[in-house]
Structures are given as C-alpha cells and as structure tokens.
Structure 1
Amino acid sequence: MIEREGRDVRGDILGSARRLFLQDGYDRVSVDRVIQDAGASKGSFYHYFQSKADLADELVREMLAPVYRQIGEIAESNLDGLSKLNQAFRIAYQWKSDNAKMLKFIVRSFWSDSNLLVRHKMKSWSMKKDKALLAGMLGQGMEEGTFAIEDPEDVAELIVHLGTGIGESMAALFVSIDDSPDKIELMERKVKLFERTLDCILGVPKGTVKTFDMESLKVILAEGVI
C-alpha cells in the first residue's frame, strides 16, 4: 500500500483503533482491520507498534495525557499541598465522568485474564506517574505542616498502591454486577473507606481528602459504563 507523503500514519492508526475498539470491542478487532481502516501498510503498523496490545497501551496513554498534563500544571501552581492533592483527584474523576464510554472500553477490555499482561503494563506506567506527582504534593504539604508524614516518597508509593487496589476492586464491580442501587452504595462505601484511610495516613482530620465525587460516579453509571 502506498501511503501519502507527510501524513501522520501513527496518528491515523491510533484514531482508527480508538474508533474500532469503542465500536466493536478490543478483542473483536484485529490488527489487519485497524491497518485497513487507517489506510496504512502492515510495515508502518509494526514500525510504530509491536503488537495490538502495544497499540492499546499507547492509545490509553494518549487518552490519559491531557489528565496528567492538567495535574502537572496543578502540581506547578501556587496552591498549597492539600489543595493540589484534592484538585488532582478532582481532575481525575472529572475525566472519568467526561469520558464514560472510553472508561467502559478500558475496563471491559482489559479486566480479564486474557489481557492480563497489557493491563499490568498500563498499571505500571500509570503508577509510576502517579507516584512522582503525588510525592511532590505530599512533600509540600509536609513542609507546610499540613501532612504529618516523614517520607513523602514512601507515603506516595503506599497511597498509589492503595488507590490501585481500590480501582481494581471497583473495576471488578463494573464488569460483574448488574445495575442496582446496591452497586452505588457499595462503591460509595469503598470510596469513603479509601478517603478515611488517606486522612489517617496523612494525619489530617476526617473528611479532609476528597478523592471522588459520587455525583460523577452516578453520571458514569448513567452512561452505561457499569
């Protein structure tokens, strides 16, 4: 296949993959179909991506890039450490609310044993970025006397692991439970438990850290993510 000179082949492949994955599901879309839809050659595909799993990983990273860019801007702002932390959580859950269909694709595509490796790769990448951003906010809050912690790096790592565990627990609910009032109640309990745990770890009063807005969760549910 002859490709037009100067075109963004990588971007075209990612665009086709995003549309097809959302339309038909990750497991039902082959590399050949993505290539054909993008008007690219097989050689071009494997120049940019090692496999379909690698393509999906890059697609998710690009989708999350605006979130990390916004949080990075918050981290560099003149806000105090606690405000930065709560703003970062707000940006994250707002993205989930605004991108409910994409969240559905991520959860339902990769929370299965057959896609364990690609999920692990995505998780490792996001945890590394989360820890770096979080450590800076915690360090600032410690210096300001707001957070009663000793080592921001260690505490950031602990919080990231806790958050990842909560996220995976909620993802399991996303794909395994039918719509019901009990689902929202169960998720709300998990969120509140996580927030209380963070308050204790950081040595701040109960209700200080806000990680998720339950109204946003209801919006996500209404979009059929769960």
Structure 2
Amino acid sequence: MPRTLDPAAHAIRRDAFVGAAERLIRSKGYEQLSIQEILDELGASKGAFYHYFDSKAALLEAVVDRMADDALETVAPLVGDPQAPALAKLQGVFGGIARFKSERLELVLALLEVWLSDDNAIVREKLRRIVVRRMGPVLAVILRQGAAEGMALVSSPEDTARVLASFIAGASEAAVELYVERQAGTVSFAVVERTLGAYAAAFERILGLPPGSRVFLSGETLHPWYD
C-alpha cells in the first residue's frame, strides 16, 4: 500500500531546509555553503534533502521565494486596503520592499554575491524570473485599481504589470552594478542618484504619472545602500 503524503508535514520539513539554508547563507555566504553543512545543521540525511531539492541551486531558489513571500506579506495590508488610492499603494509597495531589504542586509548582500558571479548565470536568470513572477500579480492588482481611478496610460493592467515587472528586474541589475561600483569608490552618490533616477522617471512615464511622483525610489531608499 503506497504511503500517504501529509502535505502539512511535508511543508514543515521542506521549510526547515529553507530556514537552515537562509541562516547559513547569512553567516557564511552561498558559495562557501555545502549541502553537508545544511544536513549537519538539521541532523538530516542526503536522501531527505534530495527528496525536496534536486540541487543546492534549487534550495537557493526556495530561499529567494520565501524572501519574496515575506516581503510581499509586509505590504499585503496596504495592497488590500480599499481606502488607499493606487498611487499611494505603488509608493508604499516599493518603499516597503526597500525597507524590508534594508532590514535583512546580511542576506541581501550574500545574494548579491551569487548574482554577480559569472558561474551563476543560470541561477541569476532564475532569480530574475522570480522577481518578475512575484511582482507581476501584485502590480496588476494595483494597476486595475489605477485604471478605475483614471490613471493615465493603464488601458491593460495585466500587460502593463508584466512590462513593469520586467522593468523592475532590469533596474535591479543596474542597481547591483552601481552598488559594486560604489563600494569600490568608482562612482559618486550623485551618479547613483542620477542613474537610478532615470529609471524612476521612465517608470513614471510608462504609467503617465506626473514627474517626481516618487513611486519607484527615493533618496531615503538609496542612502542605506549607497552612502
């Protein structure tokens, strides 16, 4: 008789691997982390690990997915607030996610190392797709409301959301490159602000928002990373 899978127990065991990986990535980085260290952390077997993940990279994707879950959970009350206008929701979502990342600096910096490694091109593309896949539906909800409120240039919220999610992924890559250059002292904060400000202005133009709407980023979100 085949064994019946308990979905709740399965999710708990899988989440334990994700949690252990996140802790170890924070403390020592992804590249230096071995699967054996995760097994030792949990007292688990290789068979148990490969039951849930087919590789270390698959586990990393799960870590990023959980981080996305947690980030979006922090802004979910605002997104679902029937009293908040769409523009305020856009501002709040991007501001909230920026604060979320700042509060998890060690993990974010460890993930940046993965992003920057030439050996992780496939992983990098998968992480980019996670950003697009997770942000798209959230943006679509807000843009549907924006269209109802008369937000200019939002005739197809779902299509516009997909465009913006891909745009955000591209802007994130530029932000990572600027972070590295800023750490090396090869660019000034003014250059960072001007470059990412151009992305913010393009974001506003896509939606037909007034210049300076401060939807996509603000000086407050840049300073913790680039000062």
Instruction: Using the TM superposition, give the Cα deviation of residue 176 of structure 1 relative to its aligned residue in structure 2, in angstroms.
Output: 4.6
Indicate conservation of the 8 Å contact 1:21/1:105, yes or no. yes
Name the counterpart of 2:78: 74
**Cα deviation 1:116-154 (Å, max 9, x = unaligned):** 222222221221221111112112112111333321122
TM-score, normalization: structure 2? 0.86
Q: Once structures 1 and 2 are overlaid, which stretch shifts more, 71-80 or 171-180?
A: 171-180
Larger RCO (alpha carbons 8 Å, 6+ apart)? 1
Return 50-59 or 152-161, whichever deviates more.
152-161
Q: Tell me how far 1:89 sits from its aligned partner.
A: 0.8
State the match for 2:22 in structure 1.
Answer: 18
- Establish whether residue 131 from structure 1 lines up as the match of residue 136 from structure 2: yes
Q: Equivalent residues in 2 for 1:98-117 (5 A)?
A: 98-117=103-122
The 5-angstrom pairing of residues 72-221 of structure 1 reads 72-78=76-82, 79-180=84-185, 182-221=187-226
8 A Cα contact 1:16 1:34, kept in partner: yes
Distance 1:201 1:10 in 2: 40
C-alpha change, 1:176 and 1:34, in structure 2 (3 Å) is farther
* 1:55 and 2:91 aligned: no
Structure 1 segments unaligned to the other structure (5+ residues) = 1-5
Q: Which amino acid aligns with 2:75?
A: I
How far residue 103 of structure 1 moved from its aligned partner, in angstroms, is 1.1
Taking the aligned partners of 1:209 and 1:142, their CA distance within structure 2 comes to 19
Structure 1 residue 99 displacement after superposition:
1.3
What is the Cα deviation at residue 106 of structure 1? 1.0
Q: Is 1:159–1:198's contact at 8 Å kept on the other side of the alignment?
A: yes
Contact residue 20 and residue 29 of structure 1 kept, 8 A: yes
CA contact (8 A) 1:130 1:160 kept: yes
In 2, the alpha carbon distance for the partners of 1:55 and 1:9 equals: 13
What one-letter code is carried by the residue in structure 2 that aligns with 1:54? A
For structure 2, the residue ranges without an aligned partner over 5 or more in a row are 1-8
Aligned-residue identity in percent: 28
Q: Would the aligned equivalents of 1:17 and 1:34 in 2 still touch at CA under 8 Å?
A: yes
Give the match's secondary structure for 1:207.
coil
Contact 1:142–1:149 under 8 Å retained in 2 = yes
User: Whole-Å Cα distance in 1 between the matches of residues 13 and 135 of structure 2?
Assistant: 30
CA–CA distance in 1 between the matches of 2:207 and 2:15?
Answer: 42
Residues 221 and 199 (structure 1 numbering): CA distance in 2 closer, same or farther, change over 3 Å? closer
TM-score (norm: length of structure 1): 0.86
Aligned residue-pair number: 217
Distance 1:117-1:213 versus aligned 2 partners, 3 A rule: same
Does the aligned pair in 2 maintain the 1:67–1:92 contact within 8 Å?
A: yes
Aligned to 1:3: none
DSSP 3-state at the match of 1:148: coil
